[in-house]
Structure 1
């Protein structure tokens, strides 16, 4: 299987299956002397682990991370960092019957067509548990960004028909409710909607919004490795993601250029500012110094307990009713996945930017 590596200079390679012995990640390109402990990584993993609310799968996992290499006496050594989280609560028998048919909305059929074989225990590599490696690696990237004064903050913008009201936006509220919304009133409405979906044995989707604050102008390459293009690839690589937009996004198609164009100004003839941010902090694939703002759309969880129509491996039409332990929505647990994948993307492009001008190289090497 190809395609388990993301990034160039700061690079992660994830491995493991949902019902295998463990899940892990190898991080290449992390500089030496970054302060790092298992607690730093665990804080991020705790935000995505199952069993934390009634809206997540009841699968009980501690998701405890172990650092196997690349860290000595509390700092990174510059060598590859290997992290592992052991699976503790596999119930593979819940999935034994699905080996003979294809679940609607899952990758069962496409895996069979591609490999002629699939790990039917919870989806194997296509399981949401694969994101453990991303979050663990992204926690290190976020640590690097923090040292540079750059923050990445994601939150739930909407769940089903319920959206946050920006007039009630409170960033401190994100970790005070089960759905990670920065709006207390909207979170209550979203939870009521989720409860109804669960009673109907159904699921729902939603939108995660992310803000990158403190990113300097000049980050990103102007052609294939645009900042927004790489963010889009990072987000669309997350399971269940069906849409990505940055700044005004699809709304830009109906806007006039006189409105969409962000006017520049300066208060001190030194710093460049913008009166609006419809561009979402990116111009020509390069950061412009304002907040990078993007949104990611997640489809409803495909594992629902209603009867559904499908086919078996003999291409016979059948009805199925899925068993097992499943989230009625992936969005609240996906918030930290969006955050950490953004951190990985930005860290990688920051490192690449160090070679963009000769004077920067001279400044580094000439003592």
Structure 2
């Protein structure tokens, strides 16, 4: 009921608040015998860590992960893997002025309506800080999928605000802070972000995620479709307002003769389906596209109300990402990995 656990066999429970003592995840259902160390998980956390460039929040969190259980002598035991990430650079005083008001576009109002109270420090439970435990859990799933099925899950930014980012090479993605696959566009992205920060405003982005080499046959009909579960988990990522798979909304203008991927003895001719047909994987790459909204916490004053319904002007101070999409790529990769590992284990349980 509480909505903090993802998966049916590979289950990930996320806990903590942005300015609490720590955040973390408990991963239950990981098969035994997987070689696993804190270094495996840390490598993924470092990709999403704040403060890595001038274009993201300057909150200085090391995001050092501690494995508390479920691993013995470097291998998973099959018991719950508990992981802890301590918060070391929270500035709760930055949020004292908005404790009794609601930031436009944020979850302040809805959390108050649901729970009657909320933790205003950094957004509390609604903060994107809580994506770090998901990345930690996704690191486990990535490693298992690579070992068992030779799968590789990668992502990149395809658009930042009005700037389209053409795909040039996967090699370019780790070489810049935007996860952009085109080196030529990086200076333009940097100039745009510098101006955006001076304006005290924010912007959205589009992220693409690809799972390569998935087996055919994963997923269930109707209510547990693979694509439905992917969309479900991606909509759980902070600031995501749209998810498309394969051709996505582009299929609106496609004719059936164009959209339906023809089959030949050599395989599928295209991949408009994004690797999923009837809720079950085709064996082609699984392609997912995410629309990420502008960050709600901005320095520009905006109209709102306080707890009593009185009109107020809200200005959010503190350290925030002017574009949360910049750090979203490793998070989206992790979430896709978690869903795919869960479906891999479900398929194995049903079909052997």
TM-score category, normalised to shorter length: over 0.9
Deviates more, 1:58-67 or 1:188-197: 188-197
Higher Cα radius of gyration: 1
Instruction: Name 1:235's counterpart in structure 2.
Output: 234
What SS does the corresponding residue of 1:40 show, helix, strand or coil? helix
* TM-fit CA distance, 1:164: 1.7
Instruction: Name 1:305's counterpart in structure 2.
Output: 299
* TM-fit CA distance, 1:140: 0.3
TM-score when normalising by structure 1: 0.94
Instruction: Name 2:335's counterpart in structure 1.
Output: 341
CA distance in 2, matches of 1:187, 1:214: 29
Q: Give the alignment's Cα RMSD to 1 decimal.
A: 1.0
Task: Please list, as runs of the form range in 1=range in 2, the aligned pairs for 1:105-124 lying within 5 A after superposition.
Answer: 105-124=105-124
CA distance in 2, matches of 1:40, 1:161: 36
Instruction: Name 2:31's counterpart in structure 1.
Output: 31
Task: Please list, as runs of the form range in 1=range in 2, the aligned pairs for 1:267-306 lying within 5 A after superposition.
Answer: 267=266, 273-306=267-300
CA distance in 1, matches of 2:301, 2:123: 19
What SS does the corresponding residue of 1:123 show, helix, strand or coil? helix
Instruction: Name 1:198's counterpart in structure 2.
Output: 197
Matched, 1:171 2:165: no
CA distance in 2, matches of 1:314, 1:355: 53
* TM-fit CA distance, 1:163: 1.4
CA distance in 1, matches of 2:230, 2:10: 14
Matched, 1:88 2:88: yes
Instruction: Name 1:363's counterpart in structure 2.
Output: none
Which consecutive segments of 4 or more residues in structure 1 shift more than 3 A? none
TM-score when normalising by structure 2: 0.98
User: Deviation digits for residues 243-300 of structure 1, max 9, x if unmatched?
Assistant: 0001110110111000001110114xxxxx1111111111101111111111011000
Instruction: Name 1:126's counterpart in structure 2.
Output: 126
Matched, 1:159 2:153: no
What SS does the corresponding residue of 1:69 show, helix, strand or coil? coil
* TM-fit CA distance, 1:201: 1.0
CA distance in 1, matches of 2:190, 2:288: 24
In the alignment, is the contact (CA less than 8 A) between 2:219 and 2:281 conserved in 1? yes
Picking from 292, 297, 310, the partner of 1:316 is 310
What SS does the corresponding residue of 1:2 show, helix, strand or coil? coil
What SS does the corresponding residue of 1:100 show, helix, strand or coil? coil
CA distance in 2, matches of 1:90, 1:356: 46
User: Deviation digits for residues 137-187 of structure 1, max 9, x if unmatched?
Assistant: 111000101102011101111100111223xx1101111111111111222
* TM-fit CA distance, 1:319: 1.1
Instruction: Name 2:98's counterpart in structure 1.
Output: 98
What SS does the corresponding residue of 1:118 show, helix, strand or coil? coil
* TM-fit CA distance, 1:327: 0.7
Give the gaps of 5 or more residues in structure 2.
none
What SS does the corresponding residue of 1:342 show, helix, strand or coil? helix
In the alignment, is the contact (CA less than 8 A) between 2:98 and 2:314 conserved in 1? no
Instruction: Name 2:47's counterpart in structure 1.
Output: 47
User: Deviation digits for residues 70-100 of structure 1, max 9, x if unmatched?
Assistant: 0011000111000000100111011111111
Instruction: Name 2:210's counterpart in structure 1.
Output: 211
Instruction: Name 1:270's counterpart in structure 2.
Output: none
CA distance in 2, matches of 1:51, 1:262: 43
* TM-fit CA distance, 1:189: 1.8
CA distance in 1, matches of 2:56, 2:75: 34
What SS does the corresponding residue of 2:14 show, helix, strand or coil? strand
In the alignment, is the contact (CA less than 8 A) between 2:207 and 2:290 conserved in 1? yes
Matched, 1:259 2:258: yes
User: Deviation digits for residues 294-352 of structure 1, max 9, x if unmatched?
Assistant: 10110001111111111111111111221111111111211111000000000000111
What SS does the corresponding residue of 1:296 show, helix, strand or coil? strand
